[in-house]
């Protein structure tokens, strides 16, 4: 059983439930297409990270975007 973790920044209120469901379906299908297994048993988690908690070097993404 594959465990797939997707991390993305939380933008404009974050992804909707429908978008996350579509993402999980697409990732599951892609995994199954490539590896020929796990399409129906894949565990998929989506972590949305605040741009205040995502840094490149010493600057947060929020600070970089507001510069």
Q: Where do the domains of the chain lie, and which CATH numbers do they carry?
A: 3-65 (3.30.429.10)
pLDDT value, residue 32? 95
Distance CA 43, CA 65 (A): 33
**Using an 8 Å Cβ cutoff, are 64 and 56 in contact?**
yes
Give me the catalytic one of 2, 14, 38, 39. 2
In this prediction the pTM is: 0.83
Could you tell me the pLDDT band of residue 59, with boundaries at 50, 70 and 90?
A: very high
pLDDT value, residue 18? 98
Mean pLDDT calculated for residue range 52-57: 95
Residue for token digits 């999980």? Answer: 24
Distance CA 3, CA 19 (A): 19
pLDDT exceeds cutoff 90 at 39: no
pLDDT exceeds cutoff 90 at 1: no
Whether 2 sits among the annotated catalytic residues: the reply is: yes
Identify the CA nearest to 49 among candidates 14, 24, 21: 14
């Amino acid at each position: 059983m594959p465990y797939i973790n997707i991390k993305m920044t939380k933008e404009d209120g974050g992804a909707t439930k429908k978008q996350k469901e579509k993402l999980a379906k697409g990732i599951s299908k892609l995994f199954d297409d490539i590896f020929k297994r796990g399409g129906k048993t894949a565990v998929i988690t989506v972590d949305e990270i605040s741009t205040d908690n995502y840094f490149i070097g010493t600057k947060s993404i929020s600070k970089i975007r507001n510069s």
